Amino acid sequence: QRRRLESIQAGTVGAVALDRRGLIAAATSTGGIPGKLPGRVGDSPLIGCGTYAESTLGGVSCTGDGEAIIRVVLARRALDILKATPEPRHACQVAVDVLVEEGRGGGGLICIDWKGQVGWAQSTSL
Do β-strands 58-64 and 51-54 pair in parallel, antiparallel, or remain unpaired?
A: antiparallel
The residues annotated with a catalytic role in the active site are 12
Q: State the pLDDT at residue 100.
A: 97
Q: Domain extents for the chain?
A: 2-122
| C-beta of residue 118 within 8 angstroms of C-beta of residue 109 | no
Query: Tens digit of pLDDT per residue, the chain (126 long)?
Result: 556 555 555 678 899 999 999 999 999 998 777 667 788 888 988 999 999 999 999 999 999 999 999 999 999 999 999 999 889 999 999 999 999 999 999 999 999 999 999 999 999 876
Q: State the pLDDT at residue 79.
A: 97
Q: State the pLDDT at residue 97.
A: 98
Q: State the pLDDT at residue 8.
A: 55
Label residue 71 left, alpha or beta by phi (over 0 means left) and psi (-120 to 50 means alpha): alpha
Under CATH, what is the fold of the domain 2-122? Glutamine Phosphoribosylpyrophosphate, subunit 1, domain 1 (3.60.20)
Sign (positive or negative) of CA dihedral 125, 58, 31, 13: negative
Which of 65, 23, 18, 17 lies closest to 44, judged by CA? 65
Model pTM?
0.87
